[in-house]
Amino acid sequence: MSKDRIIYYDVLRIIAIFAVVFSHVSSQGIVDCFPSQEWVLRMVYDSFGRWSVPVFVMISGALFLDISKKITIKKLYSKNIFHIIYVFLFWSVIYAIYDGLYKNGLVGFVLGSIHGPFHFWFLKMLIGLYIIVPLLRMITQDQKLELYFILIAILTTFLIPLLFPIIGYFSTEAKDFIQNYYNSLELNIASGHVGYFVLGHYLSNYSLKPFVKNMIFIFGFISLIAVCLITYFVSNYSGSFYEAFLNSLNIFTLLEATAVFVFIKNINFSTRYYSFIIRFSKATFGIYIIHILLMHVVLDFWGIDSSLLNPVVFIPIYSVLVFVVSYTIVSVLMRIPIIKRFVL
Protein backbone atom coordinates (compact mmCIF):
# COMPACT_ATOMS: atom_id res chain seq x y z
CA MET A 1 0.00 0.00 0.00
CA SER A 2 1.31 3.45 -0.90
CA LYS A 3 2.20 5.68 2.05
CA ASP A 4 0.53 8.54 0.18
CA ARG A 5 -2.82 6.75 -0.04
CA ILE A 6 -5.63 8.72 1.59
CA ILE A 7 -7.85 6.09 3.17
CA TYR A 8 -10.95 8.22 3.63
CA TYR A 9 -11.20 8.51 -0.17
CA ASP A 10 -11.55 4.71 -0.24
CA VAL A 11 -14.19 4.78 2.49
CA LEU A 12 -16.09 7.46 0.61
CA ARG A 13 -15.99 5.33 -2.55
CA ILE A 14 -17.45 2.34 -0.70
CA ILE A 15 -20.36 4.16 0.93
CA ALA A 16 -20.99 6.15 -2.25
CA ILE A 17 -21.23 3.05 -4.45
CA PHE A 18 -23.65 1.42 -2.03
CA ALA A 19 -25.69 4.63 -2.07
CA VAL A 20 -25.74 4.45 -5.89
CA VAL A 21 -27.04 0.87 -5.78
CA PHE A 22 -29.57 1.77 -3.07
CA SER A 23 -30.84 4.73 -5.09
CA HIS A 24 -31.23 2.67 -8.28
CA VAL A 25 -33.00 -0.14 -6.45
CA SER A 26 -35.29 2.36 -4.70
CA SER A 27 -36.22 4.07 -7.97
CA GLN A 28 -37.41 0.86 -9.68
CA GLY A 29 -40.99 1.57 -10.81
CA ILE A 30 -41.09 4.86 -8.91
CA VAL A 31 -42.92 6.70 -11.70
CA ASP A 32 -45.52 3.97 -12.20
CA CYS A 33 -46.51 3.79 -8.52
CA PHE A 34 -47.22 7.52 -8.18
CA PRO A 35 -49.21 8.53 -6.18
CA SER A 36 -49.19 5.91 -3.42
CA GLN A 37 -47.57 5.06 -0.12
CA GLU A 38 -45.06 2.94 -2.03
CA TRP A 39 -44.10 5.98 -4.11
CA VAL A 40 -43.50 8.02 -0.95
CA LEU A 41 -41.30 5.26 0.44
CA ARG A 42 -39.32 4.87 -2.79
CA MET A 43 -38.91 8.62 -3.14
CA VAL A 44 -37.55 8.94 0.41
CA TYR A 45 -35.23 5.96 -0.02
CA ASP A 46 -34.09 7.27 -3.40
CA SER A 47 -33.30 10.68 -1.94
CA PHE A 48 -30.97 9.06 0.61
CA GLY A 49 -28.56 8.07 -2.17
CA ARG A 50 -28.62 11.08 -4.49
CA TRP A 51 -25.44 12.57 -2.98
CA SER A 52 -23.40 9.55 -4.11
CA VAL A 53 -22.30 10.53 -7.63
CA PRO A 54 -21.35 14.07 -6.51
CA VAL A 55 -19.13 12.49 -3.85
CA PHE A 56 -17.41 10.41 -6.56
CA VAL A 57 -16.82 13.62 -8.52
CA MET A 58 -15.42 15.32 -5.41
CA ILE A 59 -12.96 12.45 -4.87
CA SER A 60 -11.80 12.73 -8.50
CA GLY A 61 -11.34 16.47 -8.07
CA ALA A 62 -9.32 15.97 -4.89
CA LEU A 63 -6.99 13.61 -6.74
CA PHE A 64 -6.66 15.25 -10.15
CA LEU A 65 -6.34 18.81 -8.85
CA ASP A 66 -3.65 17.95 -6.32
CA ILE A 67 -0.73 20.10 -7.47
CA SER A 68 1.77 17.83 -5.69
CA LYS A 69 1.02 15.22 -8.36
CA LYS A 70 2.42 15.83 -11.81
CA ILE A 71 -0.30 15.38 -14.41
CA THR A 72 0.73 16.27 -17.94
CA ILE A 73 -1.74 16.75 -20.76
CA LYS A 74 -0.19 13.78 -22.55
CA LYS A 75 -0.68 11.53 -19.53
CA LEU A 76 -4.18 12.86 -18.97
CA TYR A 77 -5.28 11.88 -22.47
CA SER A 78 -3.22 8.73 -23.01
CA LYS A 79 -4.00 7.19 -19.62
CA ASN A 80 -7.05 8.69 -17.92
CA ILE A 81 -9.33 9.88 -20.73
CA PHE A 82 -8.50 6.96 -23.03
CA HIS A 83 -9.19 4.55 -20.15
CA ILE A 84 -12.69 5.96 -19.63
CA ILE A 85 -13.38 5.84 -23.38
CA TYR A 86 -12.49 2.18 -23.88
CA VAL A 87 -14.30 1.15 -20.69
CA PHE A 88 -17.36 3.05 -21.92
CA LEU A 89 -17.24 1.42 -25.36
CA PHE A 90 -16.59 -2.10 -24.04
CA TRP A 91 -19.46 -2.11 -21.56
CA SER A 92 -21.81 -0.16 -23.83
CA VAL A 93 -21.49 -2.99 -26.33
CA ILE A 94 -22.11 -5.55 -23.57
CA TYR A 95 -25.24 -3.70 -22.44
CA ALA A 96 -26.34 -3.22 -26.05
CA ILE A 97 -25.94 -6.92 -26.83
CA TYR A 98 -28.23 -7.70 -23.93
CA ASP A 99 -30.74 -4.86 -24.27
CA GLY A 100 -30.53 -4.35 -28.02
CA LEU A 101 -30.53 -7.89 -29.35
CA TYR A 102 -32.65 -9.33 -26.55
CA LYS A 103 -35.32 -6.65 -26.70
CA ASN A 104 -34.90 -4.21 -29.60
CA GLY A 105 -33.01 -6.01 -32.37
CA LEU A 106 -30.14 -4.65 -34.45
CA VAL A 107 -31.23 -1.01 -34.29
CA GLY A 108 -31.39 -1.14 -30.51
CA PHE A 109 -27.93 -2.69 -30.46
CA VAL A 110 -26.37 0.06 -32.58
CA LEU A 111 -28.02 2.90 -30.67
CA GLY A 112 -27.23 1.29 -27.34
CA SER A 113 -23.57 0.93 -28.27
CA ILE A 114 -23.37 4.63 -29.09
CA HIS A 115 -25.31 6.05 -26.14
CA GLY A 116 -24.50 3.50 -23.45
CA PRO A 117 -26.84 2.56 -20.60
CA PHE A 118 -28.45 5.43 -18.70
CA HIS A 119 -26.00 5.44 -15.79
CA PHE A 120 -23.01 5.86 -18.11
CA TRP A 121 -23.74 9.59 -18.19
CA PHE A 122 -21.27 9.62 -15.31
CA LEU A 123 -18.46 8.30 -17.54
CA LYS A 124 -19.21 10.88 -20.24
CA MET A 125 -19.19 13.63 -17.63
CA LEU A 126 -15.83 12.44 -16.29
CA ILE A 127 -14.29 12.74 -19.75
CA GLY A 128 -15.40 16.37 -19.90
CA LEU A 129 -14.00 17.11 -16.45
CA TYR A 130 -10.68 15.44 -17.25
CA ILE A 131 -10.33 17.57 -20.39
CA ILE A 132 -10.39 20.79 -18.36
CA VAL A 133 -8.18 19.50 -15.52
CA PRO A 134 -5.11 21.53 -16.66
CA LEU A 135 -7.15 24.74 -16.47
CA LEU A 136 -8.71 23.87 -13.11
CA ARG A 137 -5.29 23.05 -11.63
CA MET A 138 -4.25 26.65 -12.33
CA ILE A 139 -7.29 27.91 -10.42
CA THR A 140 -6.78 25.64 -7.41
CA GLN A 141 -3.21 26.84 -6.89
CA ASP A 142 -4.67 30.03 -5.40
CA GLN A 143 -6.98 29.44 -2.42
CA LYS A 144 -8.86 32.73 -2.83
CA LEU A 145 -9.37 32.13 -6.55
CA GLU A 146 -10.55 28.61 -5.81
CA LEU A 147 -13.07 29.88 -3.26
CA TYR A 148 -14.28 32.45 -5.78
CA PHE A 149 -14.79 29.72 -8.36
CA ILE A 150 -16.73 27.58 -5.84
CA LEU A 151 -18.92 30.57 -4.98
CA ILE A 152 -19.70 31.13 -8.66
CA ALA A 153 -20.58 27.45 -9.01
CA ILE A 154 -22.89 27.53 -5.98
CA LEU A 155 -24.74 30.57 -7.28
CA THR A 156 -24.92 29.75 -11.00
CA THR A 157 -25.32 25.97 -10.89
CA PHE A 158 -26.82 24.94 -7.57
CA LEU A 159 -28.88 27.88 -6.35
CA ILE A 160 -30.16 30.32 -8.98
CA PRO A 161 -31.47 27.69 -11.50
CA LEU A 162 -33.43 26.08 -8.64
CA LEU A 163 -35.38 29.31 -8.23
CA PHE A 164 -36.81 29.24 -11.76
CA PRO A 165 -39.31 26.38 -11.29
CA ILE A 166 -40.35 27.92 -7.96
CA ILE A 167 -41.05 31.27 -9.64
CA GLY A 168 -42.86 29.38 -12.40
CA TYR A 169 -45.48 28.13 -9.95
CA PHE A 170 -46.53 31.73 -9.31
CA SER A 171 -46.02 33.21 -12.76
CA THR A 172 -44.87 31.54 -15.97
CA GLU A 173 -44.26 34.93 -17.58
CA ALA A 174 -42.04 36.08 -14.71
CA LYS A 175 -40.15 32.80 -14.74
CA ASP A 176 -39.51 32.98 -18.51
CA PHE A 177 -38.39 36.61 -18.31
CA ILE A 178 -36.01 36.08 -15.38
CA GLN A 179 -34.61 32.82 -16.78
CA ASN A 180 -34.02 34.27 -20.25
CA TYR A 181 -32.37 37.35 -18.77
CA TYR A 182 -30.16 35.18 -16.56
CA ASN A 183 -29.21 32.93 -19.50
CA SER A 184 -28.19 35.99 -21.52
CA LEU A 185 -25.41 36.62 -18.98
CA GLU A 186 -23.80 33.29 -20.07
CA LEU A 187 -22.28 32.51 -16.69
CA ASN A 188 -21.34 28.99 -17.77
CA ILE A 189 -17.76 28.70 -16.58
CA ALA A 190 -18.73 26.78 -13.43
CA SER A 191 -21.76 24.92 -14.79
CA GLY A 192 -22.42 21.21 -14.48
CA HIS A 193 -20.46 19.03 -12.05
CA VAL A 194 -17.25 21.06 -12.24
CA GLY A 195 -18.23 22.78 -8.98
CA TYR A 196 -18.16 19.43 -7.18
CA PHE A 197 -14.80 18.67 -8.79
CA VAL A 198 -13.17 21.84 -7.41
CA LEU A 199 -15.01 21.61 -4.08
CA GLY A 200 -13.60 18.13 -3.53
CA HIS A 201 -10.07 19.51 -3.87
CA TYR A 202 -10.81 22.39 -1.51
CA LEU A 203 -12.36 20.26 1.23
CA SER A 204 -9.52 17.74 1.06
CA ASN A 205 -6.76 20.33 1.32
CA TYR A 206 -8.05 22.95 3.75
CA SER A 207 -9.23 22.58 7.34
CA LEU A 208 -12.62 23.92 8.36
CA LYS A 209 -13.39 25.52 11.69
CA PRO A 210 -15.53 23.41 14.06
CA PHE A 211 -18.44 25.85 13.71
CA VAL A 212 -18.32 25.57 9.91
CA LYS A 213 -18.26 21.77 10.10
CA ASN A 214 -21.24 21.71 12.45
CA MET A 215 -23.19 24.02 10.16
CA ILE A 216 -22.37 21.79 7.18
CA PHE A 217 -23.69 18.75 9.07
CA ILE A 218 -26.84 20.58 10.20
CA PHE A 219 -27.64 21.95 6.74
CA GLY A 220 -26.85 18.58 5.16
CA PHE A 221 -29.38 16.86 7.41
CA ILE A 222 -31.97 19.61 6.93
CA SER A 223 -31.49 19.34 3.16
CA LEU A 224 -32.24 15.63 3.22
CA ILE A 225 -35.51 16.25 5.06
CA ALA A 226 -36.39 19.33 3.02
CA VAL A 227 -35.90 17.70 -0.38
CA CYS A 228 -38.23 14.83 0.59
CA LEU A 229 -40.94 17.22 1.77
CA ILE A 230 -40.59 19.57 -1.20
CA THR A 231 -40.61 16.68 -3.70
CA TYR A 232 -43.69 15.21 -2.02
CA PHE A 233 -45.72 18.42 -2.04
CA VAL A 234 -44.64 19.63 -5.49
CA SER A 235 -45.27 16.20 -7.04
CA ASN A 236 -48.75 16.01 -5.55
CA TYR A 237 -49.46 19.58 -6.60
CA SER A 238 -48.35 18.97 -10.20
CA GLY A 239 -49.93 15.51 -10.44
CA SER A 240 -46.74 13.66 -11.39
CA PHE A 241 -43.39 12.72 -9.89
CA TYR A 242 -41.31 15.93 -9.88
CA GLU A 243 -37.69 14.85 -9.72
CA ALA A 244 -35.85 18.16 -10.15
CA PHE A 245 -35.10 18.60 -6.46
CA LEU A 246 -33.47 15.17 -6.30
CA ASN A 247 -30.92 15.63 -9.07
CA SER A 248 -27.22 16.34 -8.57
CA LEU A 249 -27.24 19.98 -9.55
CA ASN A 250 -29.21 21.64 -6.78
CA ILE A 251 -28.35 23.19 -3.45
CA PHE A 252 -29.87 20.32 -1.45
CA THR A 253 -27.69 17.63 -3.01
CA LEU A 254 -24.66 19.91 -2.75
CA LEU A 255 -25.17 20.31 1.00
CA GLU A 256 -25.75 16.57 1.49
CA ALA A 257 -22.65 15.59 -0.48
CA THR A 258 -20.52 18.17 1.33
CA ALA A 259 -21.73 16.91 4.71
CA VAL A 260 -20.90 13.29 3.84
CA PHE A 261 -17.45 14.21 2.50
CA VAL A 262 -16.52 16.31 5.54
CA PHE A 263 -17.92 13.78 8.00
CA ILE A 264 -15.93 10.85 6.58
CA LYS A 265 -12.80 12.98 6.23
CA ASN A 266 -12.82 13.68 9.97
CA ILE A 267 -13.00 10.02 11.06
CA ASN A 268 -9.78 8.30 12.08
CA PHE A 269 -9.86 4.81 10.61
CA SER A 270 -7.82 2.06 12.23
CA THR A 271 -4.97 0.79 10.07
CA ARG A 272 -6.06 -2.78 10.78
CA TYR A 273 -8.98 -2.26 8.38
CA TYR A 274 -6.97 -0.62 5.59
CA SER A 275 -6.47 -3.76 3.48
CA PHE A 276 -10.18 -4.61 3.69
CA ILE A 277 -11.21 -1.05 2.81
CA ILE A 278 -8.80 -0.81 -0.13
CA ARG A 279 -9.90 -4.18 -1.52
CA PHE A 280 -13.53 -3.05 -1.55
CA SER A 281 -12.61 0.40 -2.85
CA LYS A 282 -10.87 -1.04 -5.91
CA ALA A 283 -14.09 -2.79 -6.91
CA THR A 284 -16.34 0.29 -6.74
CA PHE A 285 -15.82 1.37 -10.36
CA GLY A 286 -16.69 -2.11 -11.59
CA ILE A 287 -19.73 -2.29 -9.30
CA TYR A 288 -20.98 0.99 -10.74
CA ILE A 289 -20.59 -0.37 -14.26
CA ILE A 290 -22.25 -3.79 -13.86
CA HIS A 291 -24.91 -3.47 -11.15
CA ILE A 292 -27.59 -2.24 -13.56
CA LEU A 293 -26.90 -5.14 -15.93
CA LEU A 294 -27.22 -7.53 -13.00
CA MET A 295 -30.57 -5.98 -12.03
CA HIS A 296 -31.83 -6.28 -15.63
CA VAL A 297 -30.83 -9.93 -15.90
CA VAL A 298 -32.41 -10.86 -12.57
CA LEU A 299 -35.64 -9.07 -13.51
CA ASP A 300 -35.89 -10.41 -17.07
CA PHE A 301 -35.09 -14.04 -16.31
CA TRP A 302 -36.37 -14.51 -12.76
CA GLY A 303 -38.87 -11.67 -12.41
CA ILE A 304 -37.20 -10.39 -9.27
CA ASP A 305 -36.96 -6.71 -8.39
CA SER A 306 -37.38 -4.55 -5.31
CA SER A 307 -41.19 -4.89 -5.41
CA LEU A 308 -41.12 -8.65 -4.88
CA LEU A 309 -41.80 -8.32 -1.14
CA ASN A 310 -42.75 -5.50 1.22
CA PRO A 311 -40.58 -2.63 -0.13
CA VAL A 312 -40.06 -1.14 3.35
CA VAL A 313 -37.81 -4.07 4.21
CA PHE A 314 -37.00 -5.58 0.83
CA ILE A 315 -35.51 -2.47 -0.81
CA PRO A 316 -32.61 -2.37 1.70
CA ILE A 317 -32.24 -6.17 1.57
CA TYR A 318 -32.29 -6.26 -2.23
CA SER A 319 -29.80 -3.38 -2.35
CA VAL A 320 -27.40 -5.36 -0.17
CA LEU A 321 -27.86 -8.43 -2.36
CA VAL A 322 -27.20 -6.49 -5.57
CA PHE A 323 -24.18 -4.86 -3.96
CA VAL A 324 -22.69 -8.13 -2.69
CA VAL A 325 -23.29 -10.07 -5.92
CA SER A 326 -21.91 -7.18 -8.00
CA TYR A 327 -18.82 -7.06 -5.79
CA THR A 328 -18.36 -10.82 -6.14
CA ILE A 329 -18.60 -10.65 -9.94
CA VAL A 330 -16.18 -7.72 -10.12
CA SER A 331 -13.73 -9.51 -7.80
CA VAL A 332 -13.70 -12.43 -10.22
CA LEU A 333 -13.31 -10.18 -13.27
CA MET A 334 -10.41 -8.38 -11.59
CA ARG A 335 -8.50 -11.68 -11.53
CA ILE A 336 -8.80 -12.15 -15.31
CA PRO A 337 -5.85 -10.35 -16.99
CA ILE A 338 -7.66 -9.44 -20.21
CA ILE A 339 -10.83 -8.25 -18.47
CA LYS A 340 -9.57 -6.54 -15.31
CA ARG A 341 -8.64 -3.31 -17.06
CA PHE A 342 -12.33 -2.86 -17.93
CA VAL A 343 -13.44 -2.88 -14.27
CA LEU A 344 -10.62 -0.93 -12.60
Fill in the DSSP letter of residue 310.
-
pLDDT digits (tens, 9 = 90+) for 15-58: 999 999 999 999 998 888 888 899 999 999 999 999 999 999 99
Alpha helix (H) residue ranges in the chain:
7-26, 37-48, 52-64, 73-75, 82-96, 105-115, 121-131, 133-139, 143-153, 160-170, 172-184, 194-205, 210-238, 251-265, 274-282, 284-302, 311-333, 337-340
Neighbouring C-beta atoms of residue 342, cutoff 10 Å: 21
pLDDT digits (tens, 9 = 90+) for 265-279: 999 988 899 999 999
Higher pLDDT, residue 344 or 193: 193
At 330, phi and psi to the nearest 5? -65, -40
Q: In whole angstroms, what is the distance from residue 58 CA to residue 199 CA?
A: 6
The pLDDT of residue 108:
74
Q: In whole angstroms, what is the distance from residue 86 CA to residue 341 CA?
A: 10
- Which H/E stretch holds residue 102? none
Given a cut of 60, whether residue 2 has pLDDT beyond it is no
pLDDT digits (tens, 9 = 90+) for 105-119: 677 778 778 888 999
The pLDDT of residue 103:
66
pLDDT bin (cut points 50, 70, 90) of residue 248 is: very high
Q: In whole angstroms, what is the distance from residue 39 CA to residue 88 CA?
A: 32
Higher pLDDT, residue 42 or 164: 42
Higher pLDDT, residue 282 or 344: 282
pLDDT bin (cut points 50, 70, 90) of residue 161 is: confident
The pLDDT of residue 223:
95
- Residue 65 near residue 132, CB atoms below 8 Å: no
Q: Which residues, other chains included, contact 250 with Cβ-Cβ below 8 Å and sequence gap of 6+?
A: 158, 161, 162, 244
The pLDDT of residue 102:
60
pLDDT digits (tens, 9 = 90+) for 198-215: 999 999 999 999 999 999
pTM of the model: 0.93
- Residue 226 near residue 240, CB atoms below 8 Å: no
The pLDDT of residue 104:
67
- Residue 129 near residue 197, CB atoms below 8 Å: yes
- The sign one gets for the Cα dihedral 68, 72, 73, 75 is negative
- The amino acid sitting at 211 is F
The pLDDT of residue 109:
78
Q: In whole angstroms, what is the distance from residue 101 CA to residue 97 CA?
A: 5
Orientation angle between helical segments 210-238 and 251-265, nearest 10 degrees: 150
pLDDT digits (tens, 9 = 90+) for 328-339: 999 999 999 888
The pLDDT of residue 193:
95
Q: Which string of DSSP letters, residue by residue, matches 241-278?
A: ---GGGSSSSHHHHHHHHHHHHHHHT----GGGHHHHH
Higher pLDDT, residue 308 or 24: 24
The pLDDT of residue 286:
96
Minimum mean pLDDT range among 79-83, 169-173, 246-250 = 169-173
Q: Over the chain, what is the mean pLDDT?
A: 91
